[in-house]
Structures are given as C-alpha cells and as structure tokens.
Structure 1
Amino acid sequence: MELTEKYPALAIGDFLAIHIPDPGEEHSFVEGMREDLEVLGDLRDSGMSHGHVPYPEARGLLPWGDSSDGDLFYWKTTDEGPDTWTILVSGRNDDWCEFKGGLTEYLAGLVSGTVPPDGLPPDFPGRTPSVDSD
C-alpha cells in the first residue's frame, strides 16, 4: 500500500510495470486481475505452472506486475498474511524464480543491482535504469 501511495504508477526501464488501479477504473483493474488468475489456472490445469496455483487457493499466486517481454510477477501468498508473502517471477522462457523478500526490497534491489534479475533478461535493468512514476 505504501508503495502505491507514493508511486501511483510505476515502471522500471520501460520493461517492468506494476499493476496499480487508476482511480475510477477499479472495475477494469479487477477484471484484468481475474484474467491473469484464469491464465494461471489454465497453466495449472495443463501441468505447466510448476505446481503453482492461483489465488485464492492456499499458497496461491496473486499477480502484481508484468514485463514488455511477457514475464509475469506474483506474490506467493501465505496464511500468515502479506508481510510473509514472497515474490515469484514467471519468466517468458518458463523460468519460475522466487525472491524471499517483499516487493519494495525486490524492486529496489533490481534497480541497485543487489538482486539478480533471475528469470528476466540478464542485462535488466541495465547500468542506469530509469524508474518512471506518474
């Protein structure tokens, strides 16, 4: 919540976009989330989700972003609440990589170079990444 309050729109390097609802467009945002969860359910049903399941199933994945290359970003939920959720990257090449930390820590680490871009292009975000917020 704090991240979205500070940055109502957020993109890193014209590549990674964070899903944040626009005021008055919450219905469209929810529909997009449902579509993302349905795609993950289809992957699960066809045996291509590496055992991951969509939210609200136990330990289900909840989408929070995507990339211009088709990578998808999720929170891996737990019963203990959002403070215990981890980051899961579903790379377009069928890479599934987990980061044991929160969203802000993950994004800041990508930009600073302290978090490797597992599942993403190896040169992301580059030497001087742009962080755009509107």
Structure 2
Amino acid sequence: MEELIGTQKPTHRILDPEEAVTVLERIVPGLVPLRRQKPAVFDWRAVEEEAGRALPSDFKALAEWYPAFGLDDFLGVMLPWPGEESVRAEAEGRRSETWDSDYPADLRPVELISTTLIPWGDSMEGDQFFWSVLGDDPEHWPVTICSRNGPWWHYEGGMVQFLAELCAGDLEPWALPPVRPEITGWVVEGGGWRQAA
C-alpha cells in the first residue's frame, strides 16, 4: 500500500477561474503566445453528462483559452480540443486514460481506496495528477499527486493554481522535481504535438 504524505494549502485560494488563468499566465509567460484569440466553445454539458459529474471551472476556463501543453519537458496538462468533446483528453500526442479513472485500489494509500480519481495530467517520468472527487462541488476538489516514487499528496487549491504555484516554486514539490515555468510543447489542431523551439 502506498503512502499519503500530507496536504499543502495555498495561502489564498483562487476561486475565480479567469483570475487563476491570469495568475498562471503571469508565472508561465511562454503560455501567452498559445492563447486563442477568443475562447473556444465546448459542449461542456455533453462532456459533463458523459463524465457523470460537473468539472472544475478553472479547468474549463484553461481549456477554452489553451490547447494541451507541456511544462519543462516534464508535466503534460491534458485539455480537450474544441469540437472533440469526449471523456478522453489528448496529451503529448497520445490517448490518455479516461477521466473517470479506476486507478487500482491496491496502488492507492488506504485513505484514497474508495475515492474516485479523475486524471488531468501526467509526467514524462510516470507521475500522475488527479482531482480527488470529494463531495459534489468540483470547485473544492483537491488536486492529488501520485509520485512515481510512491508517495501521494494533496493540494487544496484548484488545478490551475496548483500549476502556477508549482512553477513559481511556491509549494514544496514533495517527491517531484522542481518544475520551471517553461512551455516545452503543445497540441496543435488535428491532435499532433508541437515541440517548443
């Protein structure tokens, strides 16, 4: 059985999705050139019906403004492409796990055995990034990190705020390497992966 090593909390929890995206853009300026001229239109109702639950608004705001992208040749952020709404996301040019993950219970800490985990990112090294579905309000689901080294931990802020604070060095990366605020690739129309120059 794996170990849940703790929970980190942001100093100030950002609940406004546009504010969270703006903070991420400030921390990761290389993201801004990828910003769409206008937000993409998604059929979020269909996505959420298929997923069987609402999804966090910061995730939806990020997907509306940006394609899936990679940070520091390490962390891939899975975002759907407009017009291809489904409960699967493309990242790094390959199909990811389904959002409603049946991550094996025997590989989870005992505290998370009965928790639904929805993946939203992964690393080149095998680390996985989830929401833990705790309660009916997706705005308060914690981010849960599964390190390839075994330790699991929570972050009690939104996914976009987590990315900003991880890249800014504002949180302890417990069992992860430091992640520089550098865009190293992104998904382009048609699903291909474009490496940053």
User: TM-score, normalization: structure 1?
Assistant: 0.76
Shift of 1:70: 0.2
The yes-or-no answer on 1:17 pairing with 2:69 is: no
The number of residue pairs the alignment matches comes to 121
Shift of 1:119: 2.7
Q: Report the structure, 1 or 2, having the larger strand content.
A: 2
2:121 is paired with a residue of what secondary structure? strand
Distance 2:96 2:137 in 1: 23
Q: Give the conservation status (yes or no) of the 8 Å contact 2:100–2:116.
A: no
* Bigger relative CO (Cα 8 Å, ≥ 6 apart): 2
Aligned residue number for residue 131 of structure 1 = 183
The yes-or-no answer on 1:108 pairing with 2:159 is: no
2:81 is paired with a residue of what secondary structure? coil
1:120 is paired with a residue of what secondary structure? coil
The yes-or-no answer on 1:117 pairing with 2:169 is: no
Structure 2 vs 1, CA of residues 102 and 50 (structure 1 numbering), >3 Å: closer, same or farther?
A: same
Shift of 1:97: 1.0
RMSD: 2.5
| Unpaired runs of at least 5, structure 1 | none
User: TM-score, normalization: structure 2?
Assistant: 0.54
**Runs of 4 or more consecutive aligned structure 1 residues displaced over 6 Å after TM superposition:** none
Aligned residue number for residue 101 of structure 2 = 37
Task: Find the structure with the greater CA-based Rg.
Answer: 2
Structure 2 vs 1, CA of residues 32 and 10 (structure 1 numbering), >3 Å: closer, same or farther?
A: closer
